[in-house]
């Protein structure tokens, strides 16, 4: 139960906060979303799912697993992608049965295997496909429909404003934008001026995304663009404290270790002990990459497959480090 007023609404879904964990393949799973939510992520997106993976007879494949959620995880946004409007509708109708708060269409993925077949950011050069998709979804679904876009395909095709108008005209309840083109991928600088123009173009809430790595960046993006919320992706890996507006460099070692243990426990609870710790390794490297003398303990931690042993080794290293600090 929230006593304060929502920061904004996604149609009839209240959002209490202004920082949001980005949907990231391989990272935005149930355990990491739970961790980031505990630090202040205001709403969570699932990893994106291809509509083809949702249309078969079997509902126990890995794509359906990406739509797992915790019972109290709200607002939760299921993100899907495709290049055929009727198929996107059928997939969305199937996943609506799982009771997401919102369904989002990914129009931002720049990988060749997605965008090259007209999905992800590959939808943006196809305004009629965008129009048909959002018209169908908002007519036939009861949950709010949103879209995540980029600036456009390349420097010469930055059509985000036109696409945003199509989205709003066809019922989209929110637009998130990564302020780079498809050809930029994650290189160069994010164009925050474009996020400001998007905010002026539409009346629905706007989430800005790109080059947010510190708490100061959150405030700067909000002030520069007027966006309703800030989405954080790569800047949150190994750094969930950013959602609490805390600098990782200001934290004490026990704060770092406590988050590592909490995240590791979430991974084990969801995936099982050995598999969970194996999947946790990529996160662990990021947690410890800037910690002094972490290279001494990291190789050992990356080989451990038992949670109790993992926590014991980590605790021993923490004690040694604190003793050395005096």
What does the pLDDT read at residue 25?
Answer: 92
Instruction: Report the distance separating Cα 141 and Cα 39, nearest Å.
Output: 32
Tokens of 8: 């904004």
What does the pLDDT read at residue 214?
Answer: 97
What does the pLDDT read at residue 99?
Answer: 97
What does the pLDDT read at residue 158?
Answer: 95
Specify the CATH superfamily of domain 8-244.
Aldolase class I (3.20.20.70)
Which is it for the CA torsion 164, 166, 172, 173, positive or negative?
Answer: positive
Active site residues: 109
Asked if the domains at 8-244 and 251-325 fall in one CATH topology, the answer is: no
What does the pLDDT read at residue 57?
Answer: 74
The alpha carbon of residue 142 and the mean position of all alpha carbons in its chain are separated, in whole angstroms, by 23
Token pair 């083809």 is at which residue?
Answer: 52
Residue (of 144, 174, 170, 232) closest to 7 by Cα position: 174
CA angle 283, 286, 292 (to 5 degrees): 135
The topology under which CATH files domain 251-325 is 1.10.1200
E strand spans, 2-86: 8-10, 13-15, 19-21, 44-45, 49-50, 76-81
Q: Render each residue's pLDDT in the chain as its tens digit; 326 residues.
A: 566 899 999 999 999 999 999 999 999 999 999 999 999 999 999 999 999 999 987 676 889 999 999 999 999 999 999 999 999 999 999 999 999 999 999 999 999 999 999 999 999 999 999 999 999 999 999 999 999 999 999 999 999 999 999 999 999 999 999 999 999 988 999 999 999 999 999 999 999 999 999 999 999 999 999 999 999 999 999 999 999 999 999 999 999 999 999 999 999 999 999 999 999 999 999 999 988 888 889 999 999 999 999 999 999 999 988 877 76
Which residues fall within 8 angstroms of residue 321, CB to CB, at 6 or more apart? Answer: 253, 292, 293
Tokens of 204: 């629905």
Tokens of 61: 């494949």
Burial of 149 (0-12, 13-18, 19+ CB in 10 A): buried
Whether the Cβ atoms of residue 233 and residue 26 lie closer than 8 Å to each other? no
Tokens of 149: 């876009």
Tokens of 83: 């290049």
For the chain, what is the total number of helices (H) and then of strands (E)?
12, 11
Extents of the domains making up the chain: 8-244, 251-325
Q: Model pTM?
A: 0.95
Q: Cα-atom radius of gyration of the chain, to the nearest Å? A: 20
Instruction: Report the distance separating Cα 307 and Cα 260, nearest Å.
Output: 12
| Burial 214-250, CB ≥16 within 10 A → b, else e | bbebbeebbeebebbbbbbbbbbbbbbbbbeebebee
**Which pairing describes strands 13-15 and 8-10: parallel, antiparallel, or unpaired?**
antiparallel
Instruction: Report the distance separating Cα 264 and Cα 277, nearest Å.
Output: 7
């Amino acid at each position: 139960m929230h006593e304060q007023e929502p920061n904004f609404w996604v149609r009839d879904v209240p959002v209490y906060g202004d920082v949001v964990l980005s949907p990231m393949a391989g990272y935005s799973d149930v355990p990491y979303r739970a961790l980031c939510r505990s630090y202040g992520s205001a709403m969570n997106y699932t990893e994106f799912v291809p509509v083809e993976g949702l249309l078969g007879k079997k509902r126990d494949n890995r794509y359906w697993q990406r739509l797992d959620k915790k019972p109290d995880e709200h607002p939760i946004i299921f993100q899907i992608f495709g290049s055929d409007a009727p198929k996107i509708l059928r997939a969305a109708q199937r996943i609506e049965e799982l009771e997401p708060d919102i369904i989002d269409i990914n129009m931002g993925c720049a990988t060749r295997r997605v965008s090259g077949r007209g999905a992800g950011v590959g939808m943006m050069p196809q305004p009629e496909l965008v129009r048909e998709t959002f018209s169908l979804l908002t007519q036939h679904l009861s949950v709010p429909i949103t879209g995540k876009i980029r600036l456009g395909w390349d420097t010469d095709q930055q059509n985000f404003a036109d696409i945003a108008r199509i989205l709003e005209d066809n019922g989209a309840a929110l637009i998130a934008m990564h302020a780079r083109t498809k050809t930029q991928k994650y290189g160069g600088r994010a164009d925050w001026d474009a996020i400001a123009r998007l905010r002026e173009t539409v009346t629905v809430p706007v989430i800005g995304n790109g080059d947010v790595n510190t708490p100061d960046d959150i405030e700067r993006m909000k002030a520069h663009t007027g966006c309703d919320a800030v989405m954080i992706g790569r800047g949150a890996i190994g750094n969930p404290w950013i959602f609490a507006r805390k600098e990782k460099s200001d934290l004490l070692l026990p704060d770092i270790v406590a988050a590592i243990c909490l995240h590791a426990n979430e991974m084990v609870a969801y995936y099982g002990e050995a598999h969970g710790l194996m999947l946790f390794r990529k996160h662990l490297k990021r947690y410890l990459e800037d910690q002094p003398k972490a290279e001494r303990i990291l190789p050992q931690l990356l080989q451990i497959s038992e949670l109790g042993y993992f926590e014991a080794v980590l605790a021993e290293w923490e004690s040694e480090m604190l003793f050395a600090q005096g």
